[in-house]
Chain A
Amino acid sequence: MAICIETRNVSKIFGGLTAVNDVNLVVEDKSITSIIGPNGAGKTTLFNCISGYYTPEIGQILYNGNEIHGLPTFTIASIGISRTYQNIRLFSEMTAIENIMVGQHPQQKNIWIDSMLATKRHRTEYSATVEEARKLLKFVGLEGLGDHLAKNLPYGAQRRLEIARALGNKPKLLLLDEPTAGMNPQETGHMTSFIRSLRDDLGITIILIEHDMRVVMDISDQIAVLDYGEKIAEGKPKDIQSNQRVIEAYLGPGGSVLTQKYQQRKKLRHDAKS
């Protein structure tokens, strides 16, 4: 399978703090990759490096084989990398549908003079954009809420709207920063299947940061674990579950012993039952 995005030895340093340290990550096309790790492990910083907010001091980021580190954010967005935010950041004073239309910005070609003179390019693109935005609104299940201001939407709808906005520029790669944060189990279930449908129906590669292990284990093709800015493990969900370093990162030193004991006891109980 083709590689969608690859980070090579990426490091990001703030003053004395190395937020991301020598991270190598290979994400294949049309896969779902989860990045997990304790708080402050550098997950969001890695996202910010990929989406162009930060330029890593060391290392390269390759997208479809092209170097993209150091490019401005808007260029990265316009070549098909979209993202959402941990704390939802919508254009609060715009309507939902307008938010999506802003997301479609890189897809359009018309410039100000087209709009001023209402040229054919403006007219066709404008109606196409509105049509497309309505479709996206329907796709994320917000039909009928399009004319409400984004700030007046309920929380779950805001999360969906943010994803819809990110889908506006027809991304090949979607970075989701804690998409299920603050949701109840039912909403989380909907979101999980929604993310999966993004990959299956639209063929988008997805990287997500997530704390809910059930979601992570459920949908990921690949999991990367960060701790103190370093990648400490990578692999299929099964491998990660039993990885000692991961357990220690989450539970502290000695954590692996604890889980071993737990599993031994579980096994014993299982044996005793049988």
Chain B
Amino acid sequence: MKNTSDQNISKIKLSKFLRPLITFLISSFLLYRIYEVVFIRQQFTPDIWVRFAISGLILGGMYALIAIGYTLVYGIMFMINFAHGEVMMLGAFGGYFIFELFNFIPTPTVADPDLTFLNSQPILSIILAFVAGVTIAGLSGYFLEKIAYRPLRKAPRLILLITAIGASTALQNLAMLLFGPTRKNVINPMILERSAGWSVLVSGKPVLITYTGVFSLVLSALLMVALYLVVQKTKLGRSMRAVAQDKNTAALMGVDVDDVISKTFIISGMLAGAAGVMWDIHMGLVNHYTGFLPGIKAFTAAVMGGIGNIPGAMLGGILLGMLEAVGPAALGIDFQLKDVIAFTILILVLIVRPSGILGEKLSEEKL
């Protein structure tokens, strides 16, 4: 008997020793590789690095918005809302159709007979596009929860996860059958022309900071602040936090748990919808597959920041966007492989620090 326990003690010490060792090996390899690419090969000039960083920041803002949705839902229901990326995709389609519609409505003037509503009222168009995208995404979040997840409140988590996969597959293919598999070009209002922007000189060379990029970044920052205020200052936010801590106790204290969960889904859907319309405006392409990869990457971001932790999701999103934009260049690999980086990061985070950068905020699971 003594023998068994002694063996197991040695095993444990090994695994405790293994994690830092792996961490050390991986990070030293990565650092060496970055050093080699950046300083020895000097493939890119500083202005290109700045360009990468900026595009990463913009992308990161969108990831952060989507990641918040994952983190909110995970914190409350311990479930990966797999269909969250599809909610974002639906929001993106909402914005796309509004832009198409407004581009269809002629408002001719003397100076420009071809002028459409989209360009005669650009700000209104953008606002309405966001309203449409956010509404559609919020509603799909609401109905998703109501139809698919609510009947399974007491079911094991595996069943919820399978349902979520089913919902994701169904929504994605529904969108494909409705709107077709081809990518659609989103028409922006003139004031948000994708190639226009401010030019900034970095080490003597111009770097373009596009209007769409700044617009997305500012908007996502504003939305994140708004969400933080909602969660921290309002009654709804307080009930959300209470439900995340302990559903039963919250219910005993008079919180309508179903209602709070429902609202959480609406809020996370709305954020994803906003990210979807930003995707329209900044990226300019939308199809049924638009939401899938950003969705999974945003989940990665949420895990990276520490799941259940809202500031963590924001930080994780922005960090992931940056790493994805700068990573291929810094590691000297093909740009086709930028999608690989996010998934590799996910695996590395789970090996090195499973609780994320800022730590998980989950209620303690009952023994």
Contact = CB atoms under 8 A, between A and B. Distances in A.
Interface of A: 48, 53, 64, 66, 68, 70-72, 75, 78-80
B2 A66 contact: yes
A72 B10 CA distance: 12
Contacts of A72: 8, 12
A78 B367 contact: no
A75 B5 contact: yes
A71 B4 CA distance: 11
Given A48-B367, A53-B367, A70 B12 contact: yes
A1 to B, nearest CB: 19
B1 A71 contact: no
Contact of B4 (A48, A53, A70, A75): A75
B178 interface: no
A64 B5 CA distance: 11
B14 interface: no
A53 B1 CA distance: 20
A75 B8 contact: yes
B110 interface: no
Contacts of B1: 64, 66, 79-80
B12 to A, nearest CB: 7
Given A66-B5, A80-B1, 20 more contacts: A48-B367, A53-B367, A64-B1, A64-B2, A66-B1, A66-B2, A68-B5, A70-B12, A71-B5, A71-B8, A71-B9, A72-B8, A72-B12, A75-B4, A75-B5, A75-B8, A78-B4, A79-B1, A79-B4, A79-B5
Contacts of B367: 48, 53
What's the dominant secondary structure at chain A's contact region?
A: loop
What's the dominant secondary structure at chain B's contact region?
A: helix
A3 to B, nearest CB: 15
A192 B2 CA distance: 32
9 contacts: A48-B367, A66-B1, A71-B5, A71-B8, A72-B12, A75-B4, A75-B8, A79-B4, A80-B1
Contacts of A80: 1
Contacts of A53: 367
A70 B12 CA distance: 9
A79 B5 CA distance: 7
In the complex, the 6 A-B pairs of residues with the closest C-beta atoms, listed nearest first: A75-B8, A66-B5, A79-B1, A79-B5, A53-B367, A66-B2
B97 to A, nearest CB: 47
A70 B1 CA distance: 17
Nearest to B4: A79
Contacts of A70: 12
Contacts of B9: 71
A71 B1 CA distance: 14
A75 B8 CA distance: 7
B151 to A, nearest CB: 20
Contacts of B5: 66, 68, 71, 75, 79
Interface string B1-42: 110110011001000000000000000000000000000000
Interface in B33-88: none
Nearest to B367: A53
A64 B9 CA distance: 16
Interface string B123-138: 0000000000000000
